[in-house]
Amino acid sequence: METRKEIAAEKKRCNSHNCAQAVVQTYADIAGIDDATAMNVANAFGGGMGNMEGTCGALVGAGIVLGLVNKDKAKSMKQMREIMNKFQERNCATQCKILKGIGTKVVLRACPNCVADACEFLEDQLQINNIDNNENNK
C-alpha cells in the first residue's frame, strides 16, 4: 500500500488545511465523501479543537475517517484507541497544547509531522480493514 502521509503533511505545511482537514481531505475518497464535505466536517478541529487545549486535530481527523469507513462504533473506537496509543508512544502526548509546547516552550512534534504520524497509524488500521488507499491517491 502506497502511503498518503506526506501528501497530508504537505497540506498542513503549506497552511491550506488545518491538521484535521489535512487528514480527512486526503482520505475523502476512501471515506466516501467529497473534498468540500471533508473540509467542512473537519474545519473546527484544527488547533486542538480550536483552542490548543484538546486532542491533536490530526488524530481527530483520523477518527472521522475511521467512523466514515467503518460505520461501526465499536470497531472505530477500538481502532482509534490503537492509533492514539501509537501516537502517544511516538510523540509523548496526544494533546495539541503539549505537542506544540504551549506553556513549556518545548515543541514535542511539529504539526505536519503530527499529521504524517496520524496518517501512518490510520493507514495501518485501513490495511487491517483491507482498504487499499492507492486507487484515487490524492
Take residue 70 and report the three cell numbers written for it: 467503518
The answer to whether the beta carbons of residues 120 and 133 sit under 8 Å apart is no
Higher per-residue confidence, 89 vs 136: 89
Is the pLDDT confidence value at 128 over 70? yes
Predicted confidence (pLDDT) at residue 138 exceeds the cutoff of 70:
no
Q: How confident is the model at residue 136 (pLDDT cuts 50, 70, 90)?
A: very low
Q: Report pLDDT for 132.
A: 67
What pLDDT, in 10s, does the model give residues 37-66? 999 999 999 888 777 779 999 999 999 999
Domain chopping of the chain, boundaries: 5-128
Model confidence over 73-113: pLDDT tens digits?
Answer: 999 999 999 999 999 999 999 999 999 999 999 999 999 99
Name, in order, each residue with C-beta under 8 angstroms of 118's C-beta and a sequence gap of 6 or more: 19, 23, 56, 58, 59, 61, 62, 83, 87
Q: What is the mean pLDDT of residues 120-127?
A: 97
Alpha helices in 14-51 (DSSP H): 19-26, 28-31, 35-41, 46-47
How confident is residue 137, by pLDDT bands cut at 50, 70 and 90?
A: very low
